[in-house]
Structure 1
Amino acid sequence: MLHLRVVSPPEHTEAVVAELREHPGVAHVVFLPGAAIQPAGDVVEADVAREAADELISVLCSLGLDHTGAITLEQIDTALSDAADRAEESAPGDGADAVVWEELLARTGEESRFNATFMAFLAIACLLAAVGVITDSPVTLVGAMVVGPEFGPLAAIAVGLVRRRWDLVRRASLAIAIAFPLAMLITAGGTALGSAAGLFDASALRGEHEVDFVFDVGPWSLIVALLAGAAGMLSMTSAKSAALVGVFISVTTVPAAGYASIAAILGEWSRAVESLAQLVINLVGIVLAAAVVLLLRRATWTTTDSGRPLSNG
């Protein structure tokens, strides 16, 4: 269930209340006349079955409430109510399969921004990957994959392409284009310091190692990236968010960036180039598969894009 709160100008409140009272996927409608101060108006609240949310948002946006008032949604973890149970049973479809498109746009828009926190996580992930490569530790590489925050902007690019939100595509692409080179420069600097301190040398990359899959480019690189991108987007558009952890562990983006940084500093240029190729294949594969998943779910679209500018948060 989702908790819906609407701030409505008085002239639209009757239509809002009527829509919520009549919809079978809605329970616990609350009307607070004149309760809103800024923007001024009435407050209407309700609990909504997830599979009914997209349709209701479409109706509310058609009244212009996203411009003259406000529409907010929150996840409800527990609802002990026969009325809520009836609403979920009456709403068409299954809650786990329902896509709330405005929620998806808001979420990917939030995760697409380049900021200090995003940069810090990516730099730390690349440094962890570098340590994993030098010590030949697959476990450390897995840790780097989990820490890496890159799936958010990649998902945002896919959403922007499918929904034709070019502002979202530009912002997410800029985040990736700036953050990865910076993280790799930081990793290269750390590698140079470690090498100068005598912690390791070029022999650390020579021979066969358990982490050689990082630069070993082949058809499986693309296959894994496509599967991970599809799983990640399915997770973001449904109620199965726990699957994202598996996506992070599957893709070889951060490890490839870390390996390329080390190889360049230690003069292993062929491995540096192969690692960069691995990085590009994974980035493109994830975006492509995520976009395909969204296109396949086109039949569930009920809301038109409001075209609202992305928050700078």
Structure 2
Amino acid sequence: MLHLRVVSPADRTEDVVALLREHRGATHLVLFRGAALDPAGDVVEADVAREAADEVLSRLCELGVDRDGGVTLEQIDTALSDAADLAEERAPGEGADAVVWEELVARTGEESRLNATFLAFLTIACLLAAVGVVTDSPVTIVGAMVVGPEFGPLAALAVGLVRRRWDLVRRAALALAVGFPVAVLVTAAGTWVGGLTGLFDASVIAGDGHQVDFVYEVGPWSLVVAVLAGAAGMLSMTSAKSAALVGVFISVTTVPAAGYIGVAAVLGDWGRVLGSAGQLAVNLVGIVVAAAAVLLLRHGPGRHVRRPLPRG
């Protein structure tokens, strides 16, 4: 179940109440007259079955309460109520299969912002990957995979393409287009400093037989893994089963490939630079295509198209 709160202009409150009262997936309806101060209006609350939330949100947006008031959703972990059980039974479909589009757009939009936090996590992840490369440590590579924040913008790209939310596509593309070059440059600088201080030299990546060579060895299986990871990641996001995202993070080699680019470039191994760049490109494209395909196969492009995301 999801908890819905609507700040409604007084002249639309009766329509909001009628909508929630009549919808078979809504229950626990509460009305507070004149409770909202900014924006002014009434507050209407209800609990909504997840599989009914997308339809309810679309109809609320048709009433314009998202523009002149406000709509918020919160996850309910536990609901002890026969009325809630009945609402979930009456709502069409299964909650785990439901895509709440506005929730998905808001979540991916937030995770795709180009800000200091995103850049810091991506840079740290690439630096960890670089340490894993020069020490030939798969464990450190896996740690870099988990730290990397790149799945947020990749998911946002998929959602934006399916929903035709070009503002979301631009935001996610900017985060990736700026974030990876910055992280690679910082990693290259760290590699140069490490070589200058004698921590390692070019011999650390020379030859074959290293445990981390899979990072730059791009091939058909790279695409297969990226597609499966992208599909699993989007299924996790749309079904609110976030635990599966950890498996996604440690399946793809986006961050390790970016980290290897920085190391190999400084040490002059341009073959491995190209191989790592290919690995990075295959993973990015495979994840986005698979995630978009999952959205299309599950529920199509959705009902309601909201106005552009706020700047920031």
Q: TM-score, normalised by structure 1?
A: 0.97
Preserved CA contact (<8 Å) 1:2 1:49: yes
Other-structure match for 1:235 = 236
What is the number of residues matched between the two proteins?
311
Task: State how 1:120-269 maps to structure 2 within 5 Å.
Answer: 120-207=120-207, 208-269=209-270
1:298 CA displacement: 3.2
Preserved CA contact (<8 Å) 2:8 2:65: yes
Other-structure match for 2:53 = 53
C-alpha distance in 2 between matches for 1:69 and 1:166: 25
C-alpha distance in 2 between matches for 1:62 and 1:102: 14
- Secondary structure of the residue aligned to 1:71 is strand
Preserved CA contact (<8 Å) 1:7 1:42: yes
Identity of aligned residues (%): 74
1:80 CA displacement: 1.8
C-alpha distance in 2 between matches for 1:94 and 1:147: 32
Deviations 1:97-141 (A, max 9, x none): 100001111111111110000000000000000011111111111
- Secondary structure of the residue aligned to 2:308 is coil
- Secondary structure of the residue aligned to 2:250 is helix
Preserved CA contact (<8 Å) 2:7 2:70: yes
Preserved CA contact (<8 Å) 1:97 1:239: no
Other-structure match for 1:311 = 310
1:311 CA displacement: 2.5
- Secondary structure of the residue aligned to 2:3 is strand
Deviations 1:167-191 (A, max 9, x none): 1111110110001000000000110
Amino acid at match of 1:50: R
Amino acid at match of 1:176: L
Deviations 1:220-249 (A, max 9, x none): 011111111111111111122211111111
Preserved CA contact (<8 Å) 1:158 1:291: yes
Amino acid at match of 2:41: G
C-alpha distance in 2 between matches for 1:19 and 1:300: 24
- Secondary structure of the residue aligned to 2:46 is strand
Other-structure match for 1:31 = 31
Pair 1:164–1:299, CA change in 2 (3 A):
closer
1:300 CA displacement: 8.0
Preserved CA contact (<8 Å) 1:110 1:311: no
C-alpha distance in 2 between matches for 1:310 and 1:245: 27
Amino acid at match of 2:24: P
Amino acid at match of 2:276: S
Preserved CA contact (<8 Å) 2:165 2:308: no
C-alpha distance in 2 between matches for 1:91 and 1:162: 25
Amino acid at match of 2:270: W
Preserved CA contact (<8 Å) 1:108 1:153: yes
Other-structure match for 1:287 = 288
Q: TM-score, normalised by structure 2?
A: 0.97
C-alpha distance in 2 between matches for 1:300 and 1:122: 30
- Secondary structure of the residue aligned to 1:141 is helix
Structure 2 portions without partners, runs of 5+: none
- Secondary structure of the residue aligned to 2:243 is helix
Amino acid at match of 1:42: D
Q: What is the root-mean-square deviation in Å for CA atoms of aligned residues?
A: 1.1
- Secondary structure of the residue aligned to 2:30 is strand
Deviations 1:272-313 (A, max 9, x none): 111011001101111111111111123583x3202x221235
C-alpha distance in 2 between matches for 1:130 and 1:139: 12
- Secondary structure of the residue aligned to 1:3 is strand
C-alpha distance in 2 between matches for 1:184 and 1:190: 10
- Secondary structure of the residue aligned to 1:47 is strand
